[in-house]
Amino acid sequence: MTRWLPASAGDRVRWAAVAVLAIVAVSIPPVANWYEDFTLGDFSSKFAIFLASSAVVLALWAMSYNLMLGYTGMVSFAHAAYFGIGAYVVALGSKHFHLPVLEALVLSPVIGAAFGLVSGIIALRAARLYFSLLTLAISQVLFAIAYQWYSFTGGDNGVHGLDIPDAISTYAPQYFFVLGVTVFCVLLMYGLVRSPWGAALLAIRENRERARSIGINVKRYEVSVYTIAAAFAAVAGGLFAIVQQYAQPEMLYWTENATPVVITLLGGLGTFLGPAVGALIYVVLQQYITTSSTFKLYFDITLGVIVLAIVLAAPGGLVSLPALFMRLRGRFRRGEPDQAVAESRGEAIRMLDVQKAVLAEAIHAAELETGAGLLKLEGVSKRFGGLRAVEDVSLEVRQGDRHAIIGPNGAGKSTLFNLITGRLKPSSGRIWFEGREITGKPVHSIARAGIGRAFQITSIFPRLTVRENLQYAMLAHRGLTARPFGIASRIFRDEAMTLLEAVGLGAYADLPAGQLSHGDQRAIELAISLALGSKLILLDEPTAGMSPFETQKAMELVRRIATERKLTLLFSEHDMEVVFGTARTVTVMHQGRILVQGTPEQVRRNPEVQKVYLGELDVEEFSA
């Protein structure tokens, strides 16, 4: 085995695919010329090279779409508009402003990004479906302007006949020019998706809520990826204008967005180079069908059937396609055990090495003075319509404290946590953290201020590896995800590994986190909240779904880490053994209000608390 070969089979396949693509891309013009000579002119090499140029342009456009769709899951109907704008910049720059084509091409991403930024800020005020509909409306406004502003855009005639410089006016040089610009853009995009900035995008795609709670400003990243995708789409549009020598308003019409999506789908969603392969298939298919005398009306149907087949054959949604492909491949290649389908056995917590975890570098020690007030709530209430989920709660959590919040189901514990972490806005009342008011602040800034959180229902990044889950949390919490360069998977790698080994997950570091068992996912959840290096950690029923033994181990870990690192804990828990074994202060909530607060001993003896819990028991027995 030589050392320069990539280690994993997946990487080898990927690099082989890149090499094949590169060879195909470079050899198209010479092969086409040779084939023309071979067939004595039955075959037009010029046309073949022209088609290849078109495919390259489509590939760049689709990859820019994939930057948004594949890496953040945003479905935009306005992406064709930026493609069209890029084409208009080059075409109008050449016709109206006598700008050399190359200078106009450099200008196109700038103008595309400007349009993208403004419409991105508008469209991203809404989420998911409403975001998509907003982009639809924006693209129709832009289309209407291009279509109707005769004096400037030429209206429905578009702009024709560009002044292409001699150097790139013939087919083969033009092809290599387009290919060169595209490769340059693709390398830029590749750098971006591997950077910490790209890591933040992946985290958002995987789990928006979790991404916020590790300190990622979701909206800002969405606007930035939308703008950057628009810039690359505009470059693709500019290249389109050079190859096709026109720009038309139809390019901006909303239905045009189907082209990059279908190309991405053909090549395989969630793969970086997939769109390049998809574009090749698309162009060849289109050329073959629309020039065939029998099938010329069948292009739409063919595309429709292919898209339907892909969407319906992957029952887990589009994202399962790569996994489906791996499974199929695994079936043909018995020799190579399929690592992707391996599952953990939920043993992580049993392997826990508390001593190691406590010493793990990944957990930053917060320098705190024990006893001072850290978190303060004053008269906090939350009403949902007529329901008073939390009512007039005043509470102080002191530094170094391990503060438990207990109470029957529906007492308002989770709502209270959501109010503290900013996921919900209080109806009234104020919240301070380290003397600064955080009432109503967004989730990500509260997380960055130093409040970490583990969710009651496991909330991790399921398709990222276990290690990436921790690495990205560390990146985000230390504010490094704004960096658009560097390789995210190499930063904090060792720190994440140490922590993983300590919590018993070392063996699963490279598996997708979603494939681990429930108990192990709880361990990841816990590890994420520890890795954040927060001063205050909120644990919402940290041991839900764990066995008694696992519970014991996990709480031992939490307790030790909290003590050694002077972390402050605020946790809710149903298991009274856990509560009285861990907490120094206990607050009992009932029907949204604070019933009692005191030391575990005081609370245990309190007759009112006993009544509340006995009352709940009665009800449970009654309904059973």
Point out which residues bind other proteins (CB under 8 A).
69, 73, 75, 122, 125-126, 128-130, 132-134, 136-138, 140-141, 144-145, 148-150, 254-255, 258, 261, 265, 297-308, 311-312, 315, 317-318
Pairing, β 451-454 against β 436-437: unpaired
CB 103 within 8 A of CB 109: no
Identify which of residues 426 and 519 has a Cβ nearer to other proteins in the complex.
426
Q: 345-379: string of b/e by CB count within 10 Å (b at 16+)?
A: ebbbbeebebeebbebebbbebebeeeeebbbbbe
Burial (CB < 10 A; 0-12, 13-18, 19+), residue 194, is middle
Identify which of residues 268 and 400 has a Cβ nearer to other proteins in the complex.
268
Closest CA to 187 of 17, 12, 18: 18
Rounded to a whole number of angstroms, the minimum distance from the CB of residue 207 to other proteins is 13
Tokens of 175: 């092809």
Rounded to a whole number of angstroms, the minimum distance from the CB of residue 328 to other proteins is 19
> CB neighbours (10 Å) of residue 96?
12
Rounded to a whole number of angstroms, the minimum distance from the CB of residue 338 to other proteins is 25
Identify which of residues 303 and 588 has a Cβ nearer to other proteins in the complex.
303
SS3 at position 246: strand
Distance CA 484, CA 66 (A): 17
Identify which of residues 301 and 359 has a Cβ nearer to other proteins in the complex.
301
Distance CA 8, CA 526 (A): 29
Rounded to a whole number of angstroms, the minimum distance from the CB of residue 303 to other proteins is 5
Q: Where are the beta strands (DSSP E) in 573-616?
A: 585-590, 593-598
Question: What crossing angle do the helices spanning 218-244 and 101-123 adopt, rounded to 10°?
Answer: 150
Rounded to a whole number of angstroms, the minimum distance from the CB of residue 307 to other proteins is 4
Identify which of residues 97 and 295 has a Cβ nearer to other proteins in the complex.
295
Identify which of residues 73 and 173 has a Cβ nearer to other proteins in the complex.
73
Identify which of residues 18 and 126 has a Cβ nearer to other proteins in the complex.
126
Rounded to a whole number of angstroms, the minimum distance from the CB of residue 119 to other proteins is 9
Identify which of residues 150 and 549 has a Cβ nearer to other proteins in the complex.
150
Identify which of residues 302 and 427 has a Cβ nearer to other proteins in the complex.
302
Distance CA 371, CA 520 (A): 34
SS3 at position 593: strand
> CB neighbours (10 Å) of residue 128?
11
Identify which of residues 152 and 325 has a Cβ nearer to other proteins in the complex.
152
Identify which of residues 317 and 386 has a Cβ nearer to other proteins in the complex.
317
Rounded to a whole number of angstroms, the minimum distance from the CB of residue 115 to other proteins is 14
CB 535 within 8 A of CB 568: yes
Give the per-residue SS3 of 138-162.
HHHHHHHHHHHCHHHHCHHHCEECC
Rounded to a whole number of angstroms, the minimum distance from the CB of residue 222 to other proteins is 15
Rounded to a whole number of angstroms, the minimum distance from the CB of residue 131 to other proteins is 9
Question: What crossing angle do the helices spanning 466-477 and 518-531 adopt, rounded to 10°?
Answer: 20
Tokens of 89: 């910049």
SS3 at position 1: coil
Rounded to a whole number of angstroms, the minimum distance from the CB of residue 430 to other proteins is 24
Distance CA 222, CA 225 (A): 5
Rounded to a whole number of angstroms, the minimum distance from the CB of residue 226 to other proteins is 15
Identify which of residues 364 and 423 has a Cβ nearer to other proteins in the complex.
423
> CB neighbours (10 Å) of residue 170?
12
Spatial neighbors of 268 by CB under 8 A, at least 6 apart, are 274, 277, 278, 321, 322, 325
Order the strands of the 373-384 sheet from edge to edge. Answer: 387-398, 373-384, 428-433, 436-437
Identify which of residues 243 and 303 has a Cβ nearer to other proteins in the complex.
303
Rounded to a whole number of angstroms, the minimum distance from the CB of residue 204 to other proteins is 14
Rounded to a whole number of angstroms, the minimum distance from the CB of residue 129 to other proteins is 5
> CB neighbours (10 Å) of residue 38?
11
Distance CA 113, CA 230 (A): 6
Distance CA 398, CA 412 (A): 21
